[in-house]
Amino acid sequence: MDYRIEVEDLNVYFDEAQILKNINLKIHKNTVTSLIGPSGCGKSTFIRTLNRMNDLIDGFKHDGTVLLDGRDIYDPKVDVVELRKKIGMVFQKPNPFPKSIFDNVAYGLRVHGISDNNVIKEKVEESLKAAALWDEVKDKLDMSAMGLSGGQQQRLCIARTIAVNPEVILMDEPASALDPISTTKIEDLVHKLKNDYTIIIVTHNMQQATRVSKYTAFFLNGEIVESGLTDRLFIEPEDKRTEDYITGRFG
């Protein structure tokens, strides 16, 4: 089947606390999948499990399997650095480096050993164009990224992520810190990027989930209550709790 990521019976613990319970989810290639649910339901923990960012946290334990293209990403033979190159991540709060706009996008390339300046230049331009930021910054690539607006910074972070050609892009509420116009731009961008990348987006905003994603998974208290086609899930949810959540009865 055309699955990029397959998660089977995943349990995640931080010390003694169980954060994720028996998660099963398949992510289709080159589609957008939204993860929705109230705060603290485990959405962010879940996507951080997919690129092994949770490894950085003391007390992180898991069982179950996470397959990327059929290979277990927690296999001891897997190189975490290679994995994170394949699975990029965009964070909730834009986090450009305190470097120039150019150096931010070139960062991943340089880190992965590309030193040919022409290649880097080309790739930076291509990535900034793909992130719909090129026209706004092409004349000030030497300026610090910290001087950009929040929305521009977030698109820069997306450019930085796609510069290293990932297969998957994880987005952890990428628009929640942005104004409505910037949010629209990010959503348009997600639409455009799904042709080339598999995107998993955590969102608080249910309208956003319906606008951008083909599939949706609803998380509650560390479990997936329901997942499936976004249109189906929002129009005729199978579970009462899903219905309560999407109609705004809690959360």
- Binding footprint of another protein on the chain (CB under 8 A): 51, 53, 56, 81-85, 88-89, 91, 93, 95-99, 107-108, 110-112, 143-148, 157, 160-161, 164
Residue 95 or residue 207: which is nearer to another protein going by CB?
Answer: 95
Residues whose CB falls within 8 Å of the CB of residue 115, separated by 6 or more in sequence, listed in order: none
CB of residue 93 to another protein, shortest distance in Å: 6
CB of residue 142 to another protein, shortest distance in Å: 9
Q: Answer yes or no: are the C-beta atoms of 221 and 41 closer than 8 Å.
A: yes
CB of residue 171 to another protein, shortest distance in Å: 11
Q: Answer yes or no: are the C-beta atoms of 198 and 30 closer than 8 Å.
A: yes
Continuous H helices in 72-204: 80-86, 101-111, 117-130, 134-137, 150-162, 180-193
Helix (H, G, I), strand (E, B) or coil at 64: strand
d(CA 201, CA 34) in angstroms, rounded, equals 5
CB of residue 43 to another protein, shortest distance in Å: 17
Q: Answer yes or no: are the C-beta atoms of 173 and 38 closer than 8 Å.
A: no
Residues whose CB falls within 8 Å of the CB of residue 150, separated by 6 or more in sequence, listed in order: 94, 177, 178, 179, 182
- Helix (H) and strand (E) counts in the chain: 10, 10
Residues whose CB falls within 8 Å of the CB of residue 80, separated by 6 or more in sequence, listed in order: 52, 55
Q: Answer yes or no: are the C-beta atoms of 169 and 124 closer than 8 Å.
A: no
CB of residue 122 to another protein, shortest distance in Å: 19
Residue 108 or residue 237: which is nearer to another protein going by CB?
Answer: 108
Q: Which amino acid is at 68?
A: L
Residue 111 or residue 229: which is nearer to another protein going by CB?
Answer: 111
Residue 33 or residue 51: which is nearer to another protein going by CB?
Answer: 51
Residue 132 or residue 146: which is nearer to another protein going by CB?
Answer: 146
Residue 153 or residue 208: which is nearer to another protein going by CB?
Answer: 153
Residue 15 or residue 239: which is nearer to another protein going by CB?
Answer: 15
CB of residue 13 to another protein, shortest distance in Å: 20
**Exposed, middle or buried by CB within 10 Å (0-12, 13-18, 19+), for 28?**
middle
CB of residue 235 to another protein, shortest distance in Å: 35
